[in-house]
């Protein structure tokens, strides 16, 4: 009852701004009518299918963009008033439901306008159901995007530009304007929606299918929007503070300070992203243009797989870049903060809080290096199983980040740097490399990268999972290194723990 009243009031609020209505209806119509034909022509130039597929997708693009903008302004404009409503006693879930329904109504209005324009312009084609459902899914996915940007970006100019940026990436690198089979663009929010909407099977959607992925994206967008609106409408005064001196208070303070300090080291972040990019692309550019044969397990048998050498070289350079950079991040994080951490421990900071702080920074650095490496690798290598390839890469990053954490106190700055470069190079670059020998030598099984690289190679070349033992070994390394890092920080706290 309350929710429906709220929805009516929120919609009235939107309707009483005449510009809103104009934007919601007019922009999608103009976009579909005017832009669909030129976009279809340019799609053919860019290697996409072009033709009716592009014209159909323009309805979704228009609906999506307008839905995101509407949601952004709805959230930004009413944030303070929404908090006041919750403070006055309104149940937060009712407010969130009303905001979501209002957003959906605005998105549907834009979708309806776009679909009407499409009907007039080209018609809805052979499968009108897909066109309508696809356009609605576009609107819902962009509702989530608008909500997230609304929660993060205060300035309306910045917010609008950010929505536009996401939309341009999504549309211009999407499957109908560009080629549908680029691995990197599969992560774009409306990749599967578009393919399903224009009836262009992707061929890489697995058991879930294109519709399954499209629905999954839509459901995730709804969940994200719900979470974000709940978070932004929560009154600030309700924030609980931890008891002074408690583990929670110390951990949150230490993690916050660690992240602040790391975020201000901009050169490190740029290098974490730039180095793997250059590393992988150079490897590909300098590799002979020929095929090679690799041996990988598949269904319990050792199978020979023929692969294009530059692609495989790029794929095998990624773990070396990830491992080296992660080790460096771990090493320098610990070395740069070691003395101050000891002072903090003397003042009473618990080792667990210090460990959480340092590991958070190290893990984020390792993940940044992994993300950059994989983004570039995806342009040269189409792994048979991407989720497992990504998971194995993260495993390598975390393993070597922890090795870096341990190397710092053991070998100091100079020795630590040399060893942090040497170990991943020997382990990941030589001993585990599938390019140099079909399977690693026996002694190389004892190296930290063995398990993760076996999983990675298997995921790169075969769709099935045949490396359970290697995965367990990699996880055992990770657990062991985590325990060792915990012991190191416990030691820091103990040697510094003389004060009562």
Interface residues with other proteins (CB under 8 A)?
241, 244-245, 249-250, 253-254, 257, 260-261, 264-265, 336-337, 339-340, 342-349, 495-500
Asked whether the beta carbons of 321 and 278 are under 8 A apart, the reply is no
Shortest distance (Å) from residue 344 CB to other proteins: 5
Phi, psi of 42 (to 5 degrees): -70, -30
452's tokens: 């993760």
Q: Which is nearer to other proteins, 258 or 449 (CB)?
A: 258
Q: Which is nearer to other proteins, 183 or 348 (CB)?
A: 348
Q: Which is nearer to other proteins, 60 or 258 (CB)?
A: 258
To which residue do tokens 């992994």 refer? Answer: 370
Dist CA 474 CA 452 (whole Å): 5
Shortest distance (Å) from residue 241 CB to other proteins: 7
| Radius of gyration from C-alpha coordinates of the chain | 26
Shortest distance (Å) from residue 244 CB to other proteins: 5
Shortest distance (Å) from residue 257 CB to other proteins: 5
Q: Which is nearer to other proteins, 298 or 341 (CB)?
A: 341
Shortest distance (Å) from residue 273 CB to other proteins: 19
In sequence order, what are the beta bridge partners of 295?
A: 304
Q: Which is nearer to other proteins, 241 or 293 (CB)?
A: 241
Torsion (CA) 152, 157, 163, 165 in degrees, nearest 10: -110
Shortest distance (Å) from residue 409 CB to other proteins: 15
Dist CA 471 CA 332 (whole Å): 28
Short-list 57, 2, 314, 21, CA closest to 175: 57
Q: Which is nearer to other proteins, 207 or 266 (CB)?
A: 266
Shortest distance (Å) from residue 252 CB to other proteins: 8
Query: Which secondary-structure segment (H or E) carries 196?
Result: helix 191-197
Asked whether the beta carbons of 63 and 139 are under 8 A apart, the reply is yes
Q: Which is nearer to other proteins, 340 or 422 (CB)?
A: 340
Q: Which is nearer to other proteins, 358 or 454 (CB)?
A: 358
Shortest distance (Å) from residue 255 CB to other proteins: 11
DSSP-based three-state secondary structure for 175: coil
Distances (CA, A) of 161 to 65, 149, 151: 11, 10, 15
Q: Which is nearer to other proteins, 124 or 411 (CB)?
A: 411
Is the Cα dihedral 52, 57, 58, 63 positive or negative? positive
Shortest distance (Å) from residue 260 CB to other proteins: 6
List all residues 6 or more positions away from 353 whose beta carbon is below 8 Å from its beta carbon.
247, 250, 251, 253, 254, 255
Distances (CA, A) of 63 to 134, 237, 291, 456: 10, 37, 46, 40
């Amino acid at each position: 009852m309350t929710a429906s009243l709220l929805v009516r009031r929120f919609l009235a609020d939107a309707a009483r701004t005449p510009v809103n209505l104009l934007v919601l209806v007019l922009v999608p119509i103009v976009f579909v009518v005017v832009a669909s034909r030129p976009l279809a022509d340019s799609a053919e130039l860019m290697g996409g299918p072009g033709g009716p597929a592009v014209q159909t997708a323009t309805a979704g693009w228009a609906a999506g963009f307008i839905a995101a903008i509407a949601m952004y302004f709805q959230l930004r404009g009413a944030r303070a008033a929404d908090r006041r409503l919750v403070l006055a006693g309104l149940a937060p879930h009712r407010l969130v439901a009303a905001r979501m329904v209002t957003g959906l109504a605005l998105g549907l209005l834009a979708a309806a306008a776009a679909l009407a324009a499409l009907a007039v312009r080209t018609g809805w084609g052979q499968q009108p159901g897909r066109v309508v459902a696809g356009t609605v899914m576009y609107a819902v996915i962009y509702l989530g995007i608008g909500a997230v940007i609304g929660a993060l970006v205060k300035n309306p100019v910045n917010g609008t530009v950010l929505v536009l940026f996401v939309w341009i990436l999504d549309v211009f690198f999407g499957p109908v304007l560009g080629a549908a089979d680029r691995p990197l663009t599969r992560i774009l929010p409306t990749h599967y929606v578009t393919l399903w909407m224009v009836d262009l099977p992707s061929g890489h959607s697995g058991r879930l299918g294109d519709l399954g992925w499209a629905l999954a994206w839509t459901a995730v967008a709804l969940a994200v929007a719900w979470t974000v609106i709940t978070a932004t409408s929560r009154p600030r005064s309700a924030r609980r503070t931890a008891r002074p001196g408690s583990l929670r208070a110390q951990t949150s303070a230490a993690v916050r300070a660690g992240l602040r300090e790391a975020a201000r080291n901009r050169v490190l972040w740029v290098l974490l992203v730039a180095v793997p990019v250059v590393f992988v692309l150079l490897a590909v550019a300098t590799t002979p243009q020929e095929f090679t044969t690799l041996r990988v397990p598949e269904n319990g048998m050792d199978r020979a797989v023929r692969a294009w050498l530059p692609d495989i070289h790029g794929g095998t350079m990624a773990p070396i870049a990830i491992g080296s950079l992660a080790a460096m991040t771990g090493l320098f994080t610990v070395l740069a903060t070691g003395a101050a951490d000891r002072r903090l421990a003397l003042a009473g900071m618990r080792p667990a809080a210090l460990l959480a702080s340092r590991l958070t920074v190290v893990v984020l650095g390792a993940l940044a290096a992994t993300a950059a490496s994989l983004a570039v690798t995806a342009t040269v290598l189409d792994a048979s199983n991407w989720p497992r390839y990504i998971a194995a890469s993260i495993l390598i990053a975390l393993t070597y980040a922890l090795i870096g954490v341990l190397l710092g106190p053991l070998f100091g700055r100079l020795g630590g740097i040399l060893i942090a470069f040497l170990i991943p190079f020997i382990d990941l670059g030589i001993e585990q490399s599938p390019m140099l020998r079909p399977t690693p030598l026996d002694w190389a099984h004892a190296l930290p990268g063995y398990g993760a690289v076996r999983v990675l190679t298997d995921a790169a070349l075969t769709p099935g999972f045949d490396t359970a033992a290697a995965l367990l070994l990699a996880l055992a390394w990770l657990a062991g290194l985590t325990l060792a890092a915990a012991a190191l920080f416990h030691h820091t706290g103990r040697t510094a723990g003389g004060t009562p």
